Amino acid sequence: MPEKYHIKTQPVPPISPRIGKYGMVDWREDCARCHNCVKKACVYDRYRQEADYIRNLSDVDTLFFDCMGCFSCVQDCTKGLLCMSINPEYQKMGNSYWTPDIIKTTWLQAETAKIPVSGAGYRGPFSGKGFDSMWTDMSEIVRPTRDGIHGREYISSSVDIGKKLPYLAFNGDKNAVNASPLVSIPMPMIIDMTSPAHTLPQLNSIIAQTAVNTDIIAIIDSRQWQGNDKQLDNIAFYIADGEVIPKDALKKTRLVEIPDSAKVMERIKEIKKIHPGIVIAVRVELTTGGVERAIKLAESEEVEVIHIVADPNGNEIGASKPRFIKDMTRHIHTALIEKGIRDSITLMAGGGIALPEHMAKEIICGADLITINLPLLIALECHLCNSCKPGMVCPAKLEKIDINYGVGRMTNLIAAWHDQLIEVMGAMGMREVRRLRGDVGRAMFFENLEEETFGKLFGSRKNN
């Protein structure tokens, strides 16, 4: 049995003040100094801790970043003077897709590498758009689940990138079918390039080392590569159109990415000539027509991997009524099955993958693996405040971060995502992420459940 995939982690505390959801506790006038709030009501001892913290403060800070929102101090205050509200700084983080809750949970995972666990039930909307409109299935009694997270059973999360053999044939004891090169990584995740707006002095170095630590692959623009050769096994160059191919470095890599273009086939041949053992991914932006282009490319004998990329919120780029990444992936996946070529293509999907459940759901919808970038940036305490412009101050001071801090936080986040992937796969009874690909039987979709349940009872849905 191969060695189990395990990511070494250690806690990496934040360097910026935390931003709590319930960050504002306001004293109105007339405090009796009874200290009820301090001594009795706050079971977390936050008041005292914060007082000590403020006393030793060397930087500007906000009060009560770790308030748990239990209302105990508010309700036990002798004179009823305390008032709590949602921290406006918390509310203004991110956007409607990358919500403050997503940012907060990402920070927590980047700090601790632990799976977020909480009490009480689910607190959110019944369903939502995108990935929130589907549920993963689980096993009950007659289908065995897998106890992977506690280590009693091994759940494989490794995937192969490239063209798989459609069948085996032997000539004597030798394989008679020409096998295309394959790249195996232990987790269905690749780190994608960050947008130019997020270019930071050390970012590529941090990402490259994170890829090494987690044994996955990071896509880095060949023009920006300044790392060391020892990292190249975990690097996939993105070689833009017209750019010179870095031949020596390329020969030490396993995967490379090129943009889709009219000359893509020639470019593939050019790269294969330099390094026949390399796997080539073609990046297809999911603009209008992107889905059809991806399907068309897949029919080509030369193309091994297609990397479809939606916008950061998972939407079709530039479309007036954009489709979501999961729906576009299902469409492509289904089309490739119908054409009988699904296994001759590896489908990587990126854009809108914000939480570990998105990884599992996107794979269920047909991707072989996913690509991420923004969650790793958030791991560095980015607020997604969109202030990454010359002259603007980054609240997370990303331009000054230490490489060890950055690598540690990103590694922790990837480890936490891996553990959560194992959790949901265990619940589904899946032992291999490769078998999860396109297995929509292990998922339930909002529109189907609504139709089967309420459609029969109440007719047509109003917003259809």
Partner 1 sequence: MASFSVPEKTIKDILPENTLKTLVPQEEVTRVVKTAPSRYRNEIAKFIVHRNLNCKRCGKCAEVCQYGVHVLKPGYKYFAEPKNHLCIGPACEKTGNFCVAKCPNGALQLKENPLFKALGDYRWPGDLILATWKMAETGDVPPAEYGFEYECGNSGGGFDRLRFKFPDKPPVKIDADKIDTSISLNKRGDGRPEIKIDVPWYGGGMSFGSVSNVTQLSKARAAKAWNTFTCTGEGGYMERMRPYDDHVITQVATGLFGVREETIQRVPIVEFKYAQGAKPGLGGHLLGDKNTPAVSKMREAVVGISLFSPFPFHSVYSIEDHQKHIDWIKHVNKRALISTKVSTPTDVDMVAVGSYSAGTHIVHIDGGYGGTGAAPDIAKKNIAMPIEYAIGRVHKFLADEGVRDKVTLIASGGIRSAHDVAKAIALGADGVVIGTVELVALGCVRCSRCESGRGCPRGIATTDPELAQKMNIDWGTQRIINLYNAWRKVLVGLLQRFGMRSVTELRGRTDLLMHLDYANDVGVKK
Secondary structure class of 239 (helix, strand, coil): coil
From 410, 424, 433, 436, residue interacting with partner 1 (rule: CB under 8 A): 424
Site for partner 1 in 136-165 (CB under 8 A): 136-142, 144-145, 147, 149-150, 152
- Closer to partner 1 at the Cβ: 56 or 463? 463
Whose tokens are 């297995």? That residue is 439
* Smallest distance from partner 1 to CB 143, Å: 8
List the beta bridge partners of residue 221. 238
* Smallest distance from partner 1 to CB 132, Å: 8
List the beta bridge partners of residue 285. 309
* Smallest distance from partner 1 to CB 216, Å: 20
Angle at 249 between CA 244 and CA 251, to 5 degrees: 100
Tokens for 450, please give them.
């609504």
The secondary element (H helix, E strand) that includes residue 282 is: strand 279-285
Is residue 43 within the footprint of partner 1 (CB under 8 A)?
yes
Reference 66, options 44, 83, 81, 84; nearest CA is 44
Site for partner 1 in 346-385 (CB under 8 A): 355-357, 360-361
Site for partner 1 in 271-330 (CB under 8 A): none
**x-or-dash string of contact with partner 1, 49-88, rule CB under 8 A:** -------------------xxxxx-xxxxxxx--xxxx--
Contact 143, 427 (CB under 8 A): no
- Closer to partner 1 at the Cβ: 148 or 186? 148
* Smallest distance from partner 1 to CB 105, Å: 7
Angle at 338 between CA 334 and CA 341, to 5 degrees: 95
How many chain residues are in contact with partner 1, going by CB under 8 A? Answer: 76
- Closer to partner 1 at the Cβ: 406 or 426? 426
Q: Map 207-262 to HEC letters.
A: HHHHHHHHCCEEEEEHHHCCCCHHHHHHEEEECCCCCCCCHHHHCCCCEEEEECCC
Angle at 307 between CA 346 and CA 229, to 5 degrees: 90
Site for partner 1 in 107-136 (CB under 8 A): 115-127, 132, 135-136
- Closer to partner 1 at the Cβ: 125 or 390? 125
- The torsion angle over the Cα atoms of residues 389, 394, 398 and 399, rounded to 10 degrees, is 60
- Closer to partner 1 at the Cβ: 56 or 118? 118
- Closer to partner 1 at the Cβ: 202 or 420? 420
- Closer to partner 1 at the Cβ: 115 or 265? 115
* Smallest distance from partner 1 to CB 457, Å: 5
* Smallest distance from partner 1 to CB 64, Å: 12
From 423, 431, 434, 439, residue interacting with partner 1 (rule: CB under 8 A): 423
* Smallest distance from partner 1 to CB 42, Å: 8
- Closer to partner 1 at the Cβ: 102 or 407? 102
User: Where does this chain touch partner 1 (CB under 8 A) — which range of 280-288, 300-308, 365-373, 451-459?
Assistant: 451-459
- C-alpha distances (whole Å) from 205 to each of 18, 218, 224, 253, 346 are 25, 11, 10, 16, 27
How far, in Å, CA of 316 to CA of 301, rounded? 26
Q: What is the CA 245 to chain-centroid distance, rounded?
A: 29
